Amino acid sequence: MKPAEPFARFAYQRHADQARAKPASYPVVIIGAGPVGLTLAIDLKLRGIDCVLLDDQDRIGEGSRAICFAKRTLEIWDRLGCAAPMLDKGVRWNIGKVFQHEKLLYHFDLLPEPGHKMPAFINLQQYYAEKFLVDRAQALGVDLRWLNRVVGLQSGEQGACIVVETPDGSYSLDARYVIACDGARSPMRSMLGLEFMGEQFEDQFLIADVRMTAEFPVERWFWFDPPFHGGKSCLLHKQPDDVWRIDLQLSPDADTEYERRPEVVRPRIERMFGHGDFDLEWISVYRFQCRRLERFVHGAVIFAGDAAHQVSPFGARGANSGVQDADNLGWKIAAALRGRSGLIASYDQERSQAADENILHSTRATDFIAPRHKAEARFRNAALALARQTEFGKRFVNSGRLSTPTTYMASPLSTADDLPWAAGPTPGAPIPDAPLGNGYLSEYLGQGFALLHWRGGGEALYVEGLPMIAVSDHDEALIARFALTPGAAYLIRPDRHVAARFHNPEPAALAAALNKANAA
């Protein structure tokens, strides 16, 4: 294995703020230039908010880490203008195979629904995703400061002051909002002395990136109890550049120093591929946790991504849910800076619900993949045995339920339906994409609220200050997906969740729904 090299390195630059006698003041300081912090910085920049993005490193680390980016994440990055390079580089797959011992139990085809601009998901090493986000942030002129480590914090309800250490010594910054996107080990969380509640799982997993040019199908393979790794589970995923990602379950008491040695890892992978024609690129061992902060908002300090909640990796809910945190927070911060501070509380409420949902799903998958005692293993094996013969057995098998966006139930921003709807996204639900005109609905939506409306032969709706997306009689797929009746309208939030919907929209009801969605 070659010595690890950073994927990309950035230059530390001394900033004029470091020489100021009084701390410079910004509306927003974001801590941590990972996928979440970068997404939020780009979002705020596009909303015209001045923010500073600090990172304690000067590089994008080696190793694939998050590798599965879901449709919702890609839609968010598309809104921010950086999905194209991700799609170009990413690998798409539809076939998944589940094995028990050496036998194929069953395979599934994701058969993605047509009429969406973005695929169900792509596989892409996190370092590529981060590089494309950095490129976009830099093109927009985001104030990104490398080798800026936050070492001190004083915060209140109306703002925070942070102390930042750099190669040139330390300096201070004032901010109305400080957003902590500083990852699973979040130093910001420690500085505030906040408890990270939840459970730590016993089992350890070894992950390896392997470069192999030999022919091998582009499929997701999951093994329960494979012959090359007796009694444990294993996941194989294709990434770009002929890199394969392998996740191997280890015993709780496994000697990780021994297990991660290339001469120990290699023979297992040789048996898995059936040949030794590959190179090991990166090996890491982790023990995972499902934990969250009780509250994500602490006065002027707001937590997002792994700093706020951590899940097991099965289901690709880590980076994907973090990017959705940023998506939920960006427009609310922008509005709060204009006086609508009530929106910030809804971030805590909505994303807490999402975190609980993600923790629930990833905990269930973990319990299935790594049973804790004999009886659990027996049920797991019974489900696998039934999966060979029955449809319901397959449905019990859980090798990770892939990330989908959360419907915000009982959100303070949602207006309940006044009349029954046959289908379509409910208030609080993420909207699905759909073909519209010669493109897609997602391309018509901007950075703010919008009204999706089908005249259906009646009067056109007009609400001042609210962009309207007109659906024509020809947009049948969209009409069906939203269960639009003639004259109906959806009020869509900037993060593309439904705020309200009406079969017979009245301007007064729409204005009230818009106020509610703005926590006004």
Partner 1 sequence: MTGLDTKARFADPDAAYRAIIEAHRGLTESESAELNAALVLILANQLGDMAMLHEALVLAQRSIKGLRDPHA
In whole angstroms, what is the distance from residue 33 CA to residue 241 CA?
24
Asked if residue 385 binds partner 1 (CB under 8 A), the reply is yes
- Which of 85-93, 121-129, 232-240, 380-388 is the region at the interface with partner 1 (rule: CB under 8 A)? 380-388
- Per the document, the length of the chain is 520
In whole angstroms, what is the distance from residue 103 CA to residue 288 CA?
28
In whole angstroms, what is the distance from residue 307 CA to residue 493 CA?
25
Nearest to partner 1 of 129, 370 (CB atom): 370
In whole angstroms, what is the distance from residue 350 CA to residue 354 CA?
6
Asked if residue 108 binds partner 1 (CB under 8 A), the reply is no
Asked if residue 383 binds partner 1 (CB under 8 A), the reply is yes
Beta-strand pair 160-166/169-180: antiparallel
Asked if residue 392 binds partner 1 (CB under 8 A), the reply is yes
Among 286, 396, 421, 444, binds partner 1 (CB under 8 A): 396
In whole angstroms, what is the distance from residue 503 CA to residue 484 CA?
8
State the CB neighbour count (10 A cutoff) for residue 411: 20
Q: How far is the CB of 396 from partner 1 (least distance, A)?
A: 6
Among 24, 212, 345, 386, binds partner 1 (CB under 8 A): 386
Among 378, 462, 474, 476, binds partner 1 (CB under 8 A): 378
Nearest to partner 1 of 144, 397 (CB atom): 397
Asked if residue 398 binds partner 1 (CB under 8 A), the reply is no
Q: How far is the CB of 378 from partner 1 (least distance, A)?
A: 5
Q: Residue 269, class by beta-carbon neighbours within 10 Å (0-12 exposed, 13-18 middle, 19+ buried)?
A: buried
306 membership: H or E segment, kind and range: none
Q: How far is the CB of 376 from partner 1 (least distance, A)?
A: 10
Asked if residue 393 binds partner 1 (CB under 8 A), the reply is yes
Q: How far is the CB of 390 from partner 1 (least distance, A)?
A: 8
Nearest to partner 1 of 101, 378 (CB atom): 378
Q: How far is the CB of 266 from partner 1 (least distance, A)?
A: 35
Nearest to partner 1 of 108, 392 (CB atom): 392
Asked if residue 397 binds partner 1 (CB under 8 A), the reply is no
Q: How far is the CB of 395 from partner 1 (least distance, A)?
A: 9
Asked if residue 111 binds partner 1 (CB under 8 A), the reply is no
Among 18, 57, 284, 381, binds partner 1 (CB under 8 A): 381
State the CB neighbour count (10 A cutoff) for residue 253: 7
- Which of 105-113, 327-335, 379-387, 485-493 is the region at the interface with partner 1 (rule: CB under 8 A)? 379-387
- Which of 73-81, 83-91, 325-333, 386-394 is the region at the interface with partner 1 (rule: CB under 8 A)? 386-394
Cβ-contact 477, 435 below 8 angstroms: yes
Asked if residue 375 binds partner 1 (CB under 8 A), the reply is yes
In whole angstroms, what is the distance from residue 325 CA to residue 327 CA?
5
In whole angstroms, what is the distance from residue 356 CA to residue 359 CA?
5
Asked if residue 364 binds partner 1 (CB under 8 A), the reply is no
Asked if residue 101 binds partner 1 (CB under 8 A), the reply is no
Phi, psi of 335 (to 5 degrees): -70, -40
The three-state DSSP-derived secondary structure of 434-450 is CEECCEEHHHHCCCCCE
Decide: helix, strand or coil at residue 293. strand
Nearest to partner 1 of 136, 380 (CB atom): 380
Asked if residue 379 binds partner 1 (CB under 8 A), the reply is yes
Q: What is the DSSP letter of 236?
A: E
| Chain position carrying tokens 């028990």 | 100
Phi, psi of 442 (to 5 degrees): -60, -25
Asked if residue 460 binds partner 1 (CB under 8 A), the reply is no
Phi, psi of 231 (to 5 degrees): 80, -10
Cβ-contact 137, 53 below 8 angstroms: yes
Binding site for partner 1 (CB under 8 A): 375, 378-379, 381-383, 385-386, 392-393, 396
